[in-house]
Amino acid sequence: MIPSTPEEALAELRAGNHRFVTGVPQHPNQDAGHRAAVAEGQHPFAVIVGCSDSRLAAEIIFDRGLGDLFVVRTAGHTAGPEVLGSVEYAVTVLGTPLVVVLGHDSCGAVQAAREAVRTGSAPAGHLGAVVDAVSPSLLRAARQEVTDLDGIIDIHIAQTVETLLARSTVLAERVAVGACAVAGMSYRLSGGEVRTVAQSSAPVPAPAAPADPALAG
């Protein structure tokens, strides 16, 4: 049965990752029969906003198959307009109940951004856009006095979770009514395990200013 709630979807991902780490994957939904079954439509139970790193293949890490995961990947899991649009499509049109930001240790995009900030020299070409997108996370890490690379990566994952919610009213509204949840996870390249580093709900609007008694009629 396809998970229909954020809690069920998250539990399914964790179970699949456990199978992958312990070497007993089931490779579900990868047979010819399922391929034919999903040809007419898809109902993924999770959106994975992941880093493009070649070692971060979501369907393998979470032991899933065709039609299970709606995967959007960029270097450093940056969240530009096309990424936001893809996420909104999944949670509204496809009804996907969970969005996961998937980062990993030793992330090259974060390393490149940190080096650019350290040297004051922006990389050539469009790589500069990736560095610009990661830079707010570096500033946040500096304020928190976090200097360890993997600690900075955890902060960047959390920052991406918050960015998705802050920039997508559509996603924030789905989270606010309990139809969707957003989580940040970090994958360990050597061990294969995924751990949750951030979970967030929709931003709470600031309360309205109290009325001026002098204006009350």
Residue 209 has pLDDT above 80, yes or no: no
pLDDT per residue over 112-151, tens digit each? Answer: 999 998 898 888 899 999 999 999 999 999 999 999 999 9
Residue 211 has pLDDT above 60, yes or no: no
How much is the mean pLDDT over the chain?
91
* Helix%, strand%, coil% for the chain, nearest 5: 45, 15, 40
Residue ranges and CATH numbers for the domains of the chain are 6-200 (3.40.1050.10)
Q: And the tokens for 151?
A: 């600690």
Residues 127, 40: Cα–Cα separation, whole Å:
37
- 3-state DSSP call for residue 106? coil
Q: How confident is the model at residue 201 (pLDDT cuts 50, 70, 90)?
A: low
% of the chain residues with pLDDT over 90: 84
Residue 217 has pLDDT above 90, yes or no: no
Residues 139, 136: Cα–Cα separation, whole Å:
5
pLDDT per residue over 82-100, tens digit each? Answer: 999 999 999 999 999 999 9
Q: What pLDDT is recorded for position 204?
A: 38
pLDDT per residue over 41-81, tens digit each? Answer: 999 999 999 999 999 999 999 999 999 999 999 999 999 99
Q: What pLDDT is recorded for position 123?
A: 84
Question: Higher-confidence residue: 192 or 207?
Answer: 192
Residues 171, 169: Cα–Cα separation, whole Å:
5
